[in-house]
């Protein structure tokens, strides 16, 4: 009986890892330059944390959570997103007593029970950031600037930044009521999901992918027209800063986001290249969340990027293939033992070296060196060992030179620590 993995939960194999590592490294590099520090929180939290923050009537809480009871009878949930756990930690660890402004980022797996398809999985990975403690619209613009910077840096250009404002606790209720009124007049044209949720979560109807719902809501009132003076001013300033930073954006008044905790600025990075999984990154302001979770009344804003979707967009072939600097080809047991010592010494010096562990023909070993894209192959046969020499073959131009075995370690380190070595003479 073969045990298989779980549907919608993928293995990330060595052949694809270079793209993942590149995307992660660039995130760390860029986020650090904007003053963000990494935070690592558990992948499991009390179920209540997500119900209270994300919202009881959202898709995530209604249908997508991996919730289970542990042996002590506690209801726990595999985290479906990163913001709630980070805020839980921020409050519980009283990070605000050190500094009321915190800029944090995280990387890691998230879990949602969804229908698996291209770009949508049950275990997926997010890279996210949270900036806590700043009301000023400058931070909104800076978060958006950093997001755009990231996409530029990783070479993903087929994206568009969509922004919207969802208002605040003062102005959203009236808009909600106006929207419910509008939807009531068109109930017959809505899908069964929307007919059920238009009272509890009317904004979600604007986001429904069913074509008849989209038609029925084409002329729906927008939040933008209902913003209070404060939210309106905030949104204008965000747009002004974006213009000053030369960041291109589209105001998308239908973008509502699927989590309840958002307020004011919300945004998505969308692409046309991933079919219906068109959001590669998404986020927004969550000014009431920290106090709702029992923390101080501090505002916050953040985003999360879906790494699988980034990987799909980032053609991994664009990444330079990493070549192996050196392969050791040894023939016969004594030469093999000597080569093994040399390999270990070079690896200890930080050089990437491979050899064949089984006695194979030189031809077979050269084939293996070719598979690794080796720049040099060091050949050590019985005859060379007897003469205390080695043959160093440059795989790019086929040239060979004989070197004394004693001291070859140092020579190789000098030759190969040069990032762009000139072909060996000989
Ligand atoms: P969608 O509308 O595609 O379901 P979402 O609004 O649920 O996205 P968020 O909760 O905002 O997504 O998560 C931020 C990002 O995480 C998304 O933009 C997407 O790139 C990624 N993401 C979300 N759910 C999944 C999933 N099941 N599989 C892969 N990536 C995902
Ligand atoms: Mg979703």
User: Which tokens in the block code for residue 38?
Assistant: 């990494």
pLDDT of residue 185: 92
Nearest CA to ligand 1 atom 25: 120
* E strands in 20-155: 37-38, 44-46, 66-69, 75-78, 102-111, 123-132
C-alpha 60 – ligand 2 centre gap (Å): 7
* Stated pTM of the model: 0.90
Residue 391's nearest CA partner among 312, 327, 322 is 327
The preferred substitution site among 257, 303, 304, 314 for testing ligand 1, maximizing ligand atoms within 8 Å of CB, is 304
pLDDT at residue number 316: 55
Instruction: Say if ligand 1 is within 6 A of residue 260 CB.
Output: no
Ligand 1 atom closest to Cα of residue 120: 28
CA of 107 to the centre of ligand 1 (A): 14
Distances (CA, A) of 68 to 199, 364, 373: 29, 53, 48
**What is the whole-number distance in angstroms between the Cα of residue 72 and the centre of ligand 1?**
32
Question: Separation of 25 CA from ligand 2 center, angstroms?
Answer: 26
Q: Name 110's bridge partners.
A: 124
Residue 382's pLDDT is what? Answer: 94
| Ligand 2 center from residue 364 Cα (angstroms) | 50
Query: How far does the centroid of ligand 1 lie from the alpha carbon of residue 325, in Å?
Result: 40
Q: Give the whole-angstrom CA distance, residue 363 versus residue 379.
A: 11
Is 282 close to ligand 1, i.e. is its CB under 6 Å away?
A: yes
Ligand 1 pocket member 124 (CB < 6 A): yes
Cα–Cα distances in angstroms (integers) from residue 149 to residues 84, 126, 162, in the given order = 25, 17, 15
Query: How many angstroms separate the CA atoms of 269 and 105, rounded?
Result: 18
pLDDT at site 426: 36
Could you tell me if 191 and 177 are in contact, meaning their C-beta atoms sit under 8 angstroms apart?
no
Say if residues 284 and 86 touch (Cβ distance below 8 Å).
no
pLDDT digit string (tens) for the chain, length 426 residues: 799 999 999 999 998 999 999 999 999 999 999 999 999 999 999 999 999 999 888 889 999 999 999 999 999 999 999 999 999 999 999 999 999 999 999 999 999 999 999 999 999 999 999 999 999 999 999 999 999 999 999 999 999 999 999 999 999 999 999 999 999 999 999 999 899 989 988 998 998 889 999 999 999 999 999 999 999 999 999 999 999 999 999 999 999 887 778 899 999 999 998 888 899 999 999 999 999 999 999 999 999 999 999 999 986 556 777 899 999 999 999 999 999 999 999 999 999 999 998 878 999 999 999 999 999 999 999 999 999 999 999 999 999 999 999 999 999 999 988 655 444 433
Please name the helix (run of DSSP H) or strand (run of DSSP E) that holds residue 269, with its range, or none: strand 263-270
Question: Rounded distance, CA 293 to CA 288, Å?
Answer: 9
| pLDDT number for residue 421 | 44
Give the pLDDT score at 318.
Answer: 67
Closest of 267, 270, 278 to residue 242, by C-alpha: 267
Calpha distance 103→84 (Å, rounded): 15
Among 306, 308, 312, 313, the mutation site with the greatest number of ligand 1 atoms within 8 A of its Cβ is 306
Our CA dihedral for 132, 135, 140, 143, rounded to 10 degrees, sits at -20
pLDDT number for residue 424: 43
Ligand 1 pocket, residue 279 CB under 6 Å: yes
The whole-angstrom separation of Cα 239 and Cα 260 is 23
């Amino acid at each position: 009986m073969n045990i298989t993995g779980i549907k919608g939960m993928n293995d990330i194999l060595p052949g694809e890892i270079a793209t993942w590592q590149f995307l992660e490294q660039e995130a760390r590099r860029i986020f650090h330059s904007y003053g963000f520090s990494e935070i690592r929180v558990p992948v499991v939290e009390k179920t209540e944390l997500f119900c209270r923050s994300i919202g009881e009537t959202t898709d995530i809480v209604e249908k997508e959570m991996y919730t289970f009871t542990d042996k002590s009878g506690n209801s726990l949930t595999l985290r479906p997103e990163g913001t709630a756990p980070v805020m839980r930690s921020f409050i519980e660890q009283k990070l605000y007593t050190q500094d009321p402004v915190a800029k944090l980022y995280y990387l890691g797996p998230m879990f949602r029970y969804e229908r698996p398809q291209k770009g949508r999985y049950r275990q997926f990975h997010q890279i996210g950031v949270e900036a806590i403690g700043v009301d000023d619209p400058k931070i909104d613009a800076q978060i958006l600037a950093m997001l755009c910077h990231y996409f530029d840096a990783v070479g993903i250009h087929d994206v568009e930044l969509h922004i919207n404002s969802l208002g605040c606790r003062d102005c959203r209720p009236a808009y909600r009521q106006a929207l419910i009124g509008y939807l009531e007049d068109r109930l017959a044209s809505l899908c069964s999901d929307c007919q059920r949720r238009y009272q509890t979560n009317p904004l979600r109807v604007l986001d429904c992918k069913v074509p008849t719902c989209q038609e029925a809501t084409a002329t729906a009132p927008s939040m933008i027209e209902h913003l209070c003076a404060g939210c309106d001013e905030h949104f204008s300033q965000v747009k002004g800063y974006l213009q000053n930073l030369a960041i291109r954006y589209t105001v998308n008044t239908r973008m509502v986001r699927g989590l309840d905790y958002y307020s004011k600025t919300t945004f998505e990075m969308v692409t046309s290249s991933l079919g219906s999984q068109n959001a590669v990154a998404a986020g927004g302001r969550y000014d009431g969340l920290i106090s709702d979770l029992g923390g101080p009344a501090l505002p916050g804003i953040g985003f999360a990027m879906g790494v699988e979707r980034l990987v799909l967009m980032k053609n991994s072939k664009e990444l330079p293939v990493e070549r192996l600097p050196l392969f050791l080809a040894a023939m016969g047991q004594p030469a093999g033992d000597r080569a093994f010592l040399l390999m270990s010494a070079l690896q200890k010096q930080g050089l990437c070296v491979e050899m064949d562990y089984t006695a194979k023909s030189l031809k077979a070993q050269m084939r293996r060196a070719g598979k690794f894209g080796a720049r040099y192959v060091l050949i050590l046969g019985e005859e060379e060992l007897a003469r205390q020499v080695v043959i160093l073959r440059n795989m790019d131009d086929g040239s060979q030179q004989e070197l004394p075995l004693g001291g070859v370690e140092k020579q190789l380190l000098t030759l190969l620590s040069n990032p762009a070595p000139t072909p060996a003479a000989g």
